Structure 1
Amino acid sequence: MASSSRAMYHFKVVLLGNSGVGKSCLVNRFVKDTFSPDIESTIGAAFLTQTIALETETVKFEIWDTAGQERYRSLAPMYYRGAQAAVVVFSLVDAESFAGAKAWVNELQKHGGSDIVIALAGNKSDLSHVRKVDRDTAIEYARATGCFYLETSAKTAVGVNELFQQVARRVPKTAAPPRRADMLDTGDSSSGKCC
């Protein structure tokens, strides 16, 4: 194996949002490049990893995909504590999920780390013909709260890789000390269930 001087960063990322908005589908598209419309609701949280290469560094995401059901909401702080980034997901075809996303952003801003990067993801962009959340409304909300906004489709993969690339670029590199990439296995991704 050739020696490499690329810095390797490990970032903890948590996915938050109402049940049924496509958090698990989104992360499965990113990690496994698969989509299943019949995915079961997450219970507690699922843990997955994925490594991406940026221009000058490599980022390994340690991703916590949390359950969206109200009965699991009290567990969320356990997952976002210590996270460098959060992806707050809502469905473009469900206005109530946008209200839920706003509540998650508010909670993260009050109780998350002071330098946590918050991405707001409007998922299910493939269903734009029945959308209930206006793009400009979501952009303005993200701008007003210091988040960044992207529309995604776990089904078609539109915007999914871009979302995580933007997260990797926006997390301050001081948030996680670099490690040498040639000392770490960066070739695979893994997943496991928790709780």
Structure 2
Amino acid sequence: MTRQIFHKANAFLLMYDITSSQSFSAVSYWANCIQEGAAEDVTILLVGNKSDCAERQVKTQEVEVLAKEYNFEFMECSAATGENVVQSLETVARMLSQKVDTREEAMELKKEPNKKKSSGCC
């Protein structure tokens, strides 16, 4: 991925496989790439996939620690069953919407009242 893609992105779904500790190990690498190349306030959702599988290698507690360290939201889903797939996208949309609302409030300009024009005489 190029820096230009990172720079222009508003949000990232940073996904790993809960049945692969190697996949989870790569999360820190990608998180650092995002932090280096993306806007400072970019939205990031950390998503553990394959929550339907019994052979979990990545403990939820490990992920929660990492998510807290990077200040990421975190959830798990299953692409196979569809569990939390839509919810994860809704979560990202909600996070983006909250940022837009906050920016609009901060940028709201106060309109000055209209001044009456003088008639030009005395």
Give the structure 2 partner of residue 98 of structure 1: 24
Superposition deviation, residue 106 in structure 1 = 1.4
Q: Classify 1:176/1:160 alpha carbon distance in 2 versus 1 (closer, same or farther; 3 Å).
A: farther
Output aligned runs, 1:97-176, within 5 Å: 97-127=23-53, 129-171=54-96, 172-173=99-100
Gaps spanning 5+ residues in structure 2: where? 105-122
Output aligned runs, 1:1-195, within 5 Å: 75-127=1-53, 129-171=54-96, 172-173=99-100
Inter-partner Cα distance in structure 2 for 1:96 and 1:83 = 26
Superposition deviation, residue 175 in structure 1 = 9.3
Higher-Rg structure is 2
- One-letter identity of the residue aligned with 1:115: D
Runs of 4+ in 1 over 2 A off after TM superposition: 75-81, 174-177
Inter-partner Cα distance in structure 2 for 1:111 and 1:100 = 17
- One-letter identity of the residue aligned with 1:125: S
Calculate the aligned-residue CA RMSD, in Å: 1.9
Inter-partner Cα distance in structure 2 for 1:122 and 1:175 = 28
Deviation track 1:114-145 (CA, whole Å, cap 9, x = no partner) reads 11011111001111x10100011101210111
Q: Is the 2:6–2:37 contact (alpha carbons within 8 Å) kept by the matching residues of 1? A: no
- Higher relative CO (CA 8 A, sep ≥ 6), structure 1 or 2? 1
Q: Is the 2:13–2:46 contact (alpha carbons within 8 Å) kept by the matching residues of 1? A: yes
TM-score, with length taken from structure 2: 0.76
User: Hey, which of these two has a bigger chunk of helix by percent?
Assistant: 2
TM-score, with length taken from structure 1: 0.49
- One-letter identity of the residue aligned with 2:13: V
Aligned pair count reads 102
SS where residue 119 of structure 1 aligns? Answer: strand
